[in-house]
Structure 1
Amino acid sequence: MKISELANATGTNVETVRYYEKVGLLSPPARTSANYRAYGGDHLARLSFIRRARDLGFSIEAVRNLLTLSDDPSQSCEAIDGIARVHLDDVDRKISDLMALRSELDRVVGACRAGKVWDCKIIEALGPQR
């Protein structure tokens, strides 16, 4: 299949497919006589894996490590579990940070009295402008 067909099949931008090739996540495909990229089922499966991992928020480096580990199915999945646990800890930290942010914004918005800008509690909470 052509790059556009692979991209469409996985919901990935064509430039992103090229980027994944450039950084080594996706192996370069064979070329047709007209020099078009010719992708196969292995590319589709690998790009689908990459796409799903990225959708779950794994970094490029984590995806690279997951792919390397998945290329040797006889080994223990302990390392894969470790990568996923580190990512889960990062997600939990981000959720905690967002909850704190939401709480502070809720407090600031709740202090608003819909008065004049010079007495605006939201502007006041953001700090001096001068």
Structure 2
Amino acid sequence: METIRYYERIGLMPRPGRTGSGYRAYAPEEVERLRFIARGRDLGFTLEEIRSLLRLAQDPALSCAEVDQLARQHLNDIQARIADLQRMAVELERTIGRCRGGERGACTILETLRQPVAAAS
């Protein structure tokens, strides 16, 4: 519920009407908008990207090209993050593989963390 209030504060969701007892009452189009936002977040879009997608979704006369471009850029960003995560996993596996236990002062994991970052290959 706090997330929905946050979306209201930043203008992604309109402030809903209230029932006589003070509860929020969302219209069907507001529920649909919230689903759109939640699905966008599930796909990793930033709130600003979702804001742009909402603007694009509100005008049916617009070409899908802008949406396509935004989605392709997002996919490229995700693929770059995956590559970074895979690189980190390989480095961490290598570091862990060199660990032989023993005294903390001779810990290869801690020693690796003290080393300068290697340039990307």
Q: Same fold (TM over 0.5)?
A: yes
Q: Deviations over 1:12-34 (max 9, x none)?
A: xx111111111111122223344
Please name the residue that 1:123 is paired with: 110
Query: Which of structures 1 and 2 has the larger relative contact order (alpha carbons within 8 angstroms, sep 6+)?
Result: 1
Gaps of 5+ in 2: 116-121
What's the Cα RMSD here? 1.5
**Structure 2 letter corresponding to 1:24:** G
Selected match of 1:104 from 91, 98, 106: 91
Distance (whole Å) between structure 2 residues aligned to residue 123 and residue 24 of structure 1: 45
Please name the residue that 2:27 is paired with: 40
Please name the residue that 1:113 is paired with: 100
Q: Which stretches of structure 1, 4 residues or more, deviate above 6 A after TM superposition?
A: none
Please name the residue that 1:81 is paired with: 68
Gaps of 5+ in 1: 1-13
Distance (whole Å) between structure 1 residues aligned to residue 6 and residue 69 of structure 2: 26
Aligned length: 115
TM-score normalised to the size of structure 2? 0.87
TM-score normalised to the size of structure 1? 0.81
Identity among equivalent positions (%) equals 47
